[in-house]
Structure 1
């Protein structure tokens, strides 16, 4: 009897959550509380996951290519703010969706400047108004000497495939894209998410790998932009696979 009552309670709670989670997530107090929890959790993860000796040093990249556009895969970007040097100013692009609100506030709390928009995967003339404005803001940030941070694969249900927005930003700004992977040996993969989000766990090892600087010519046409998009996709995937291979053998 008690098991039946418990199941009914669980069912009621699940229905309540499904019906009201959107409203709850939009509540200012709930957002602030969640961001506070996540900030402290991620700091704990950072301090309990020493990097492998084979990790790359972003300082060398900063000294050679600053300002640049640093990019990560969606779902594996949550620890990116911890790669920012103390004196570096980073402006990060997040989508305007409600789902991205917590991510944006979290990055801001960890030291990033934020711009909202969407990079998109379509042709350059299909970038939406909000996305175009965000790209212009990032271009101006790069011009002023700030680092720009942008997710390579924008949320269109196709993970680990670069969008054209970041390629367009490199073309407009003349600044290089720096592919980056920050991976962890202990992760919880959220299988039901479109990008297979990886939540890093404490007490493991981590690795940072930085790809070669990736330039896009200012006179690149649509065909060349598509070629560059595919090249970036391949580069990011190879870098990601290499990171997890090194974590597996601990070197």
Structure 2
């Protein structure tokens, strides 16, 4: 008789492993621009923008600063495991993505940001790409919440890159150095979000994110 095992049951172990893994990584912010946490605590709404492929090292860096965030997780079965792990490390999660349940998740995140003063975390090219092409949801949320977008890039020195995945997922090795680059906060337009305006704003965010990194 086959006994089904719910993968989400492993969330406590995975969360423990994640926190242990994070403690071994030596994060090196390129400059002192990590005051986005303090700005949010002062009541300035903030959204952190990450690339999907860098979600592990970027989330790990954020975990060293705060867990006062609300994170978007897809409604897939894999998303259920991820959501439980993130909740174990202190995140609030909302379920939805650009392909399913997106608008409801955005509005839910806005309410959580306002009620609990949490930063939102957005993997802007997820859940399925194209790689390094931001979706429009982050612009919509930033305008509705009156928030600024802070791009973050992480570059672990020793890592495994999963080249066959669409996002080239990066897994930092334990005990590696990890330079981190935090961009200046980006204020979005107050114009009506027509197709043309959304294309312009996502292109502006894309350029800012791609410019972050070693020179």
Fold in common (TM above 0.5): yes
Instruction: Specify the TM-score bucket, using the shorter chain as the normaliser.
Output: 0.7 to 0.9
Closer, same or farther in 2 for the Cα pair 1:234/1:39, shift >3 Å? same
Matching residue of 1:143: 114
Q: Structure 2 regions of 5+ residues with no counterpart?
A: none
Query: Greater share of strand residues, 1 or 2?
Result: 2
- Structure 2: distance between partners of 1:72 and 1:193: 17
CA distance in 1, matches of 2:169, 2:55: 9
Which structure's CA Rg is the greater one? 1
**In the alignment, what sits opposite 2:39?**
64
Counterparts of 2:205 and 2:139, CA distance in 1: 9
The alignment's C-alpha RMSD in Å is: 2.5
Residues 51-107 of structure 1, C-alpha deviation per residue, up to 9 Å, x if partnerless?
Answer: 23635442x122235321112110211241552477752111111122323222221
Q: Does 1:31 align with 2:8?
A: yes
TM-score, normalization by structure 1: 0.73
Question: In the alignment, is residue 178 of structure 1 matched against residue 178 of structure 2?
Answer: no
Where does residue 89 of structure 1 map in the other structure?
68
For residues 71-220 of structure 1, what are the structure 2 equivalents within 5 Å?
71-79=49-57, 80=59, 82-84=61-63, 89-119=68-98, 130-144=101-115, 145-220=117-192
Structure 1, unmatched stretches of 5+, are: 1-19, 121-127, 247-251
3-state DSSP of counterpart to 1:181: strand
Structure number with higher relative contact order (C-alpha < 8 Å, ≥ 6 residues apart): 2
C-alpha spacing 1:87/1:184, structure 2 compared with 1 (3 Å): closer
What is the aligned length? Answer: 208
Contact 1:81–1:112 at 8 Å: present in 2 too?
A: no
TM-score by length of 2: 0.85
